[in-house]
Structures are given as C-alpha cells and as structure tokens.
C-alpha cells in the first residue's frame, strides 16, 4: 500500500497473530455450519471473541464482539468499529514508529529488558506506546485510530517476541532481535453499526440480544490473562508493578471462571440469560486426554443438558491441529459445534 508519504507501507491482516485457540483455520467449517443451520440472521454476537477471527467472517452482519482482555478489545475496535479513521494519518505514525528512534529508559526497559524483548526493543516499545497515549489525550487521534496504532504495535512485537507464542515464560540464553516492524492494519470497508465490548460475558448477555450468539469459551485451566499478560500490560498501559521471573502483573480481575471448576455453573447461567434465535457453542474434545490443566472444564453431557433446556440441539465436528503451548500433541483433536435452535 502506498501512503500519502509516497512510501510503500506494509500491511497486516487479522489472522497475522499467534493466539491459543485461534479459529481462523476452522472458518470454512464454522461458516458452513452457521450458514446452513442459522437461517436469515442479521445480527451476530461473538462473545468470547479472542482475536476476532470468527467475527471477521461475518462482517456483512451487525456484529457484537466481546472479550475480557483489553488487548483483544482494541483489536476488535481496529477491525470492526465503524468510527471514521484517517488512513494517511495512521500510515504517517507507523512510518515514524518504524524509523530509528533514540534509546530512552522507560517502563519497558526497567521491567522487561532482555527478557521477552531486547533492551533496545523495550525502549522503542515504551516510547511508541507512550506516544500513542499522548496523541490520543491531545485529541490528535480518535478512539479507533488509537486502537489501530496499538494493534499495529502488538502485532509487530508478536513477530519477534522471545516466546513460543505466549508469555508464560521466555527463553534464556538466546539472541534477541534488535528491531521490529509495525504494519498498517488492513481496514474493513462497508461495515455496519457494530458494537465492541470489554466486559464479563455473563454480564454482557443480560444487556444485548442477537439473532446468532457464538460462544467459544476457554476449554481448560490455562488462563488467557496468564498467557498474554505482557500484551495486556502494554495495551492497558497502566504501568503496574510486575513480579516473578515471568514479570507478570496482578491479573486477579482478568481471571475467567470458565477455566475453573465453576465453569459448568457459569455456562448454565450464561445460556439461561442469552436472548437469541440460535446459540452456537464451539468446544474442543480434550475431555480427559491431556494433563489435568489441559482437560476440558465442561463435559459434553453438561453442554448438551444446558443447551437442551434452551431448545433443540445438533452437533457438528471437524478434525484439526490446534495452536497450543507445545506441551502436548493429540492427533485426534476435534472442534465441535453445538447448534441450538432456541425455543
């Protein structure tokens, strides 16, 4: 893409990010089932949206997206908000951020130098994130433009992070990259009046309604706020104290009950309060196949009993190889869609 600066500015797409449970490769399966089973719908709610991959397949509908992580919420604003943005302005900022910025000590260098990123890259990340916040509070960029620039930063550093795709730990004794490239998010066109939320899902469903509600909750005990704490820290930019070898912040308010033993009761409360014509639940078949942390927190029986109290249910499945933490391999991995036609 050529910017107003006369330069070719690299771009990025919604799927260009590593993320546990990302459904991008399963979109043909998911969209085929929904298009055949959920007829004549105009509104689509993706209430555990993650990166927004599934929502990206339904941009011809009015979207409701939600995620408890603020970093994902910013990505949703980037890809799905209908707020006006100036692409030339975005490209100008990104061109500047990709230039050689002088080293400075900041929150990132003090807390994360030579862990997930080199000291030089930490300096640049801290400078860029502070600059974006200052530009927003000065009124020079709007809410969506701020989200687009932060998303560009998060996608850029994800490419060079010293991790296996998540931030539970970093590798020691490796050579760290000394630079990274920010790219312009490719904007969606012809968007409808979408709604993006950053709320507890069980609270949100009491406030909204949609023709189709798609549910893709965490499957096991591995909390997303643990796996992506640094991404969330940079997105929020509240500069909290961090601790431990992994340099994690306090994540108490970001913990999901769907990763705990209370998941079945939380799921029952969720389904009971959903206002929709169709409910589509995506859930992995791990059951008791892995170590205890990897095992599913809600059984098939519990899913079916809960959904059948709401309406008639069909089940569809597709084999796939998931992006995982690399600790386990299961070749008979299946993603199932439970489609409930509400009574």
**pLDDT tens digit string along 249-259?**
999 999 999 99
For residues 271 and 320, state if they share a domain.
yes
For residues 157 and 122, state if they share a domain.
yes
Q: Which of 253, 270, 301 is the last residue of a domain?
A: 253
Decide if pLDDT at 331 tops 80. Answer: no
Count of domains in the chain?
2
* Percent of the chain predicted with pLDDT > 90: 82
- Sheet-wide strand order for 43-46: 195-197, 62-66, 43-46, 210-215, 276-284, 334-342, 311-319
Residue at 75 is within a domain: no
Q: What is the mean pLDDT of residues 339-343?
A: 96
Residue at 107 is within a domain: yes
37 versus 220: which is more confidently predicted? 37
pTM of the model: 0.92
Q: Which of 206, 235, 253 is the last residue of a domain?
A: 253
Residue at 3 is within a domain: no
Residue at 76 is within a domain: no
For residues 296 and 202, state if they share a domain.
yes
For residues 106 and 179, state if they share a domain.
yes
Confidence of residue 164 (pLDDT cuts 50, 70, 90): confident
What number of other Cβ atoms are within 10 A of residue 299's Cβ?
15
For residues 203 and 295, state if they share a domain.
yes
Cα(62)–Cα(194) distance, rounded to whole angstroms?
5
For residues 217 and 294, state if they share a domain.
yes
Q: What is the mean pLDDT of residues 207-233?
A: 96
Q: What is the mean pLDDT of residues 146-173?
A: 95
For residues 136 and 196, state if they share a domain.
no
Residue 317, domain extent: 13-69+192-221+260-343
pLDDT, tens digit (0-9, with 9 covering 90-100), for 281-303: 999 865 554 444 456 889 999 99
Residue at 207 is within a domain: yes
For residues 199 and 304, state if they share a domain.
yes
Residue at 116 is within a domain: yes
Decide if pLDDT at 163 tops 60. Answer: yes
Contact of 326 with 21, CB cutoff 8 Å: no
For the chain, give percent helix, strand, coil, nearest 5: 35, 15, 50
* Percent of the chain predicted with pLDDT > 70: 90
Tell me, what CATH number does 341's domain have? 3.40.50.150
Residue at 336 is within a domain: yes
Decide if pLDDT at 7 tops 80. Answer: no
Cα(161)–Cα(172) distance, rounded to whole angstroms?
12
Confidence of residue 44 (pLDDT cuts 50, 70, 90): very high
Cα(182)–Cα(245) distance, rounded to whole angstroms?
28
For residues 217 and 231, state if they share a domain.
no
Q: If you average pLDDT over every residue of the chain, what do you get?
A: 92
For residues 198 and 244, state if they share a domain.
no
pLDDT value for 177: 97
Residue at 78 is within a domain: no
For residues 236 and 120, state if they share a domain.
yes
pLDDT value for 284: 83
pLDDT value for 289: 47
- Going by DSSP bridges, is the β-strand pair 195-197/11-12 parallel, antiparallel, or unpaired? unpaired
8-11: list long-range contacts, CB under 8 Å, 24+ apart.
Answer: 9/91, 9/94, 9/95, 9/183, 9/184, 10/181, 10/183, 10/184, 11/183, 11/184, 11/185, 11/186
For residues 129 and 58, state if they share a domain.
no
């Amino acid at each position: 893409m050529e910017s107003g600066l006369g330069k070719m500015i690299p771009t990025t797409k919604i799927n260009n990010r590593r993320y546990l449970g990302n459904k991008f490769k399963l979109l043909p399966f998911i969209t085929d089932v929904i298009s055949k089973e959920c007829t004549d719908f105009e509104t689509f709610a993706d209430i555990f949206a993650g990166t927004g991959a599934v929502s990206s397949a339904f941009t011809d509908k009015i979207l409701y997206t939600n995620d408890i992580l603020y970093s994902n919420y910013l990505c949703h604003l980037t890809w799905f908000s209908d707020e006006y943005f100036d692409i030339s302005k975005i490209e100008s900022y990104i061109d500047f951020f990709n230039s050689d910025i002088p080293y400075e000590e900041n929150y990132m260098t003090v807390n994360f130098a030579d862990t997930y990123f080199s000291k030089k890259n930490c300096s640049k990340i801290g400078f860029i994130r502070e600059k974006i916040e200052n530009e927003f509070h000065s009124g020079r960029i709007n809410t969506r433009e701020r989200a687009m620039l932060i998303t560009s930063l998060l996608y850029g550093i994800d490419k060079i992070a010293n991790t296996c795709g998540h931030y539970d730990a970093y590798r020691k004794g490796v050579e760290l990259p000394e630079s990274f490239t920010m790219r312009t998010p490719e904007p969606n066109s012809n968007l409808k009046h979408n709604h993006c939320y950053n709320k507890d899902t069980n609270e949100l469903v009491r406030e909204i309604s949609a023709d189709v509600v798609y549910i893709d909750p965490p499957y096991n005990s591995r909390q997303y706020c643990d796996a992506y704490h640094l991404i969330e820290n940079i997105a929020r930019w509240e500069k909290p104290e961090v601790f431990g070898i992994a340099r994690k912040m306090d994540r108490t308010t970001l913990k999901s009950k769907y990763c705990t033993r209370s998941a079945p009761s939380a799921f029952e409360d969720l389904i009971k309060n959903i206002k929709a014509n169709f409910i589509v639940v995506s859930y992995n078949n791990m059951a008791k196949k892995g170590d205890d942390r990897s095992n599913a927190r809600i059984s098939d029986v519990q899913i079916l009993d809960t959904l059948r109290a709401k309406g008639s249910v069909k089940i569809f499945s597709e084999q796939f190889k998931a992006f995982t933490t690399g600790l386990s391999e299961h070749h008979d991995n299946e993603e199932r869609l439970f489609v409930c036609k509400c009574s």
